[in-house]
Structure 1
Amino acid sequence: MPHTSSGIHWEEHGQGPSTVVMLPGFGASADLMAGIARHLDGFRVLIFDLPGHARSVRAPADGRLPSLAAILHEAIKEAGADDYCLVGYSLGGAIAVRIALDHPDEVRALIGVVPWNAGGTTAEDAVIAGFDAAYGDVEALTHAVAAISVDPSRTSGLTSSMLTVTERMWHGWLAGGALTSQADELPGMRVPTCYLLGGKDVVVDQAKQLDDVRRIPGSRAVLLQELGHLCGLERPDVVAYEISAFLRRTAPS
């Protein structure tokens, strides 16, 4: 699979007149989004490993949204996409928001799947602090992944992916980037936006996600009542259905 000049790994799935760019969540690899892409019909899908993750470990990664978004935007352009729908999962959702704010003429539609809320969090956030402290600890990460899962039998592989994340990226996001806010910029969003929320998500505060939706003009939220933060691994078919429904309604080819 190809890498960009900055070291970002990307892969292509499917065919169609519209291009969908997919960004995984923190600790996950492109495999997370590939599982969803298998249920998307009629789209050309480009999936990127995040900087400092999986097959993008050599790409610069400081864990800060502006720099993560900038390097991924350049990678997307280098992969040949200049007019695309953008799907971001968790941290990938926050990065996608940054890209859409900075490059609204290139992004046709934006979908956040259990997206990290734009307002960020605080150092007292127990879930985020727990993951930060668990860097490189297989046992601790295994327990942490199980704790945020609705169906742990489908999510155990995430631990291996988390172990690939560089230390600078890990702490840069969990002890830094996750605490920053881009919420005040959301009223200026010019891209049709939808958030897919998990009713059993114990990682991201749903009230904060809904605050994002209220701030973005014309945006909508879909509550998947029985799904949690790892819904992309547990029910990729449901996630793909909602992505496809929004894109076909909002950004038809």
Structure 2
Amino acid sequence: MRLATIRTRNGTAAVRVDPAALVEIQGHDDVGQLLRQDNWRELAQAADGPRHAVDGADRAPVVPHPGKIVCVGHNYRNHIREMGREIPEYPALFAKYQESLIGPFDDLVLPPESSAVDWEAELAVVVGKAGRRIPFDEAESYIAGYSVLNDVSMRDYQFRTVEWLQGKTWEASTPFGPDLVTVDEFSPGPLMTAAVDGAVMQQTPTGDLVFTPAFLVSYISTIITLNPGDVIATGTPGGVGHARDPKIYLKGGQVLETSIEGLGTLTNRIVEV
């Protein structure tokens, strides 16, 4: 099953994504709100609300208001090598805030303060039920599904200090969507690609993770309770612009496309102010 959040004239609405239409799941403003219901699967499957055309729908971030966005750094071996680091023993974790999210087809506006805006294609895990200290062998049952995210990074701000947050949670900088695909229809492994104006910059199987989604759910829940709608961004593979020689960054007028086979594609036009 595929779920999404769309913008309508009355606000936002959670929808089930069918081949011929987007079907509103009435009473739920977005996918995150839906996931807070224990019977969210049944509610989504039974939905028979207003229908919207699939093409041209105004997509919001698939979970617009997650309580937490926990991001993982250095989780693909090829990216770890290109950044000159060692394979980590434990995940490098940092946070984003919900204000950083934009829709899967929204314009990405370059902040005038940064001259080093970079792409980072990522597989996103969306939590489906609350848990603390979740055993590893139970962790997959806490995952509602998967989506696509680009952890667009302001490298000049990121590397001002050894802490990354200031370069990673810039407002309106993180495309997220287009759908949540439930765990019965997707598991990590398919190819992830980031392209700028059609030129492939990153391309790596999503199964090539150092720390798997199940491990991350278990590990992060040791630190803090995970709640329905929380998001884990699982890290980016090699091919980022900052690691190239010479370095390459996003420019106004370009189009950034981020795709994972089986999940969908983010398409974001880069805009200068």
TM-score by length of 1: 0.31
| Larger helix percent | 1
Where is the strand percentage greater, Structure 1 or Structure 2?
Answer: 2
Q: Which has the higher contact order (CA 8 A, sep 6+)?
A: 2
Q: Report the TM-score, using the length of structure 2 for normalisation.
A: 0.29
| Greater Rg over alpha carbons, structure | 2
